[in-house]
Chain A
Amino acid sequence: AQSVSQHNHHVILSEAASLELGCNYSYGGTVNLFWYVQYPGQHLQLLLKYFSGDPLVKGIKGFEAEFIKSKFSFNLRKPSVQWSDTAEYFCAVNVRAAGNKLTFGGGTRVLVKP
C-alpha cells in the first residue's frame, strides 16, 4: 500500500520568511498529488494539485509545489509567508491504479510569528 511521509511535524517561522514543507510518497506508479491546508477551526481545503504536465504547480495564496518523480517527492513552498498562513498542511497521494482512495501524510503544523 502507498504511504506518505511529511518530514516536519512542526515548523515555526517569522513573517516574510520562506517556507518549504517536505512530502515523500512510497508508490512507484502513476500518482496524483495534492496539498491540503487546514486553518485553525476549519475543515481541509485544497491548496494545489498535480496530475501531469509541468512538474511545478502553482496554487492559491502564493503556494507552489514541485513534483520530482525520481525522488518521489512533492514539496510545498512559499517564498514569503504571512501570519495568516498559520495552519496545518497535509500532503496527499492518490494512486491511479488503486481506485479512488486518497492517502494523507501526518501533517505539518506551521506557526508564523508576526
Chain B
Amino acid sequence: DAGITQSPRHKVTETGTPVTLRCHQTENHRYMYWYRQDPGHGLRLIHYSYGVKDTDKGEVSDGYSVSRSKTEDFLLTLESATSSQTSVYFCAIKAGTNEKLFFGSGTQLSVL
C-alpha cells in the first residue's frame, strides 16, 4: 500500500459543517492526489500537490481546499459540506518515475 493512510475511514456529517480528511504517507513521495469516486464518473481529481505548499486544482475543485505543510500529510477540507459532496474519497501518491499511482483505502463521506 506504499505506506498510505487515510483518516477517517468513514464519516457522517451535516450540511454546512466543515470536514477535513487526512492523507498520510511514510515514504517521502513528492506527488499526492485527492480523488473522489462516484458511480458512473469513475475517479475525478479534486486537487493535487507536487511538494510542500505546492498544490494545484483538479477537475472538480470547487468547494474543496487542500494544504500540504509537511511532505507526509495532504489534507482535504470541505469548508461547508454539501450533500453533493457525499462520495468516497481516495488519496493517492505517485511513487518513483514510472507514473504509477498507489491509492489509499478510501474515506466514505456522507453529508446529510
Contact = CB atoms under 8 A, between A and B. Distances in A.
Interface of A: 1, 4, 6, 9, 32, 34, 36, 42-46, 49, 51, 90, 92, 94, 99-107
B48 A100 contact: yes
A62 to B, nearest CB: 20
B74 interface: no
Interface string B43-71: 11100101000001011000000000000
B90 A100 contact: no
B48 A101 contact: yes
Among A42, A43, A51, chain B packs the most CB atoms within 10 A around the CB of A43
Contact of A46 (B48, B100, B105): B100
A42 to B, nearest CB: 8
A1 B50 contact: no
Interface residues of B, number: 25
Contact of A107 (B42, B100, B103): B42
Interface of B: 1, 31, 33, 35, 40-45, 48, 50, 56, 58-59, 90, 94, 98-101, 103-106
Contacts of A101: 45, 48, 58
Given A100-B99, A101-B58, A104-B35, 19 more contacts: A9-B40, A43-B103, A43-B105, A44-B103, A46-B101, A49-B98, A49-B100, A94-B99, A100-B31, A100-B48, A100-B94, A101-B45, A101-B48, A102-B45, A103-B59, A104-B43, A104-B44, A105-B42, A107-B40
Among B35, B42, B104, chain A packs the most CB atoms within 10 A around the CB of B42
21 contacts: A1-B59, A4-B42, A43-B104, A43-B105, A44-B103, A46-B101, A49-B99, A49-B100, A51-B99, A90-B42, A99-B56, A100-B31, A100-B99, A101-B45, A102-B33, A102-B45, A103-B59, A104-B43, A105-B42, A106-B41, A106-B42
